[in-house]
Amino acid sequence: MNIIYFVLLALSSLNIAATEMIIGKETISPGINLVFEAAPKDTVMPKEYFLAESATDIHIEMLANWSKDSPIGSPVGGFVAYLKIYATIEAESGGKTTVQLTPHLNMSDNLHYAQNIKLPGSIDEAYNIKFDINPPDQRELGIHYDWNNEVGPILEQTSFNYKNMNFKKIALSSRR
């Protein structure tokens, strides 16, 4: 009887912690893989700079990593730093919010861009989400002669739109 109880308890705990929802996957020049995700809300430190988990519906993320087709010297799978990422989330009811995704660090994704957000509508409705990816500010990243000659800018401003996204399952889930 005790073994059955523990097996059922272990199986039920697997459903408590939800996995991340893949919103989309893209590759941009010069060989940067992007993965856009919605994840369960989380506590992010330092707490005074990030939306509290209790005030959050979902955690929006973008992974930016060098691909096998990136310029020579780029570490395949390495984090692409200093990008300026904005996510605009619009509810079918008309509510809209824009947040900047900032560098975050966790055990599953390591370095990535993310932000806790409060959805601009109910968790039951559909959302459109636009990700704007911008190159680093000129004063934040120096581009050496060789990179500039062979590759040019780290990337051109680009946007990706995803429509009819349903975040209810993620919003109702928990990491712990």
Q: What is the pLDDT of residue 23?
A: 98
- In Å, how far are 72, 94, 127 from 100, measured between CA atoms? 30, 20, 18
Please tell me the distance from the alpha carbon of residue 52 to that of residue 44, in angstroms, as a whole number: 8
> With contact defined as beta carbons under 8 Å apart, do 114 and 37 qualify?
no
Rounded CA-CA distance 173/106 in Å is 18
CATH number at residue 57: 2.60.40.2480
Q: Is residue 34 part of a domain?
A: yes
* Residue 132 counted as domain residue: yes
Does 114 map to a domain? Answer: yes
Other C-beta atoms closer than 10 Å to the C-beta of 84 total 16
Provide the whole-model pTM. Answer: 0.88
Instruction: Answer yes or no: is 147 within a domain.
Output: yes
Q: Please indicate, yes or no, if residue 3 is contained in any of the structural domains.
A: no
Dihedral of the CA atoms 76, 61, 87, 171 (nearest 10)? Answer: 160
Query: Does some domain include residue 77?
Result: yes
CB 38 within 8 A of CB 17: no
pLDDT of residue 19: 87
pLDDT score recorded for residue 66: 98
- Our measurement of the distance from residue 49's CA atom to the centroid of its chain's CA atoms, rounded to an integer in Å, reads 17
Q: Kindly write down the DSSP assignment for every residue of 25-50, as one continuous string.
A: EEEETTTEEEEEEEEE----SSGGGS
Number of domains in the chain: 1
For residue 5, tell me if it sits in a domain.
no
Domain housing 82: 20-171
Instruction: Output the pLDDT for position 13.
Output: 42
Distance, CA of 69 to CA of 144 (rounded, Å): 20
Q: Which residues of the chain have pLDDT under 70?
A: 1-18
pLDDT attached to residue 18: 55
Specify if 150 maps to a domain: yes
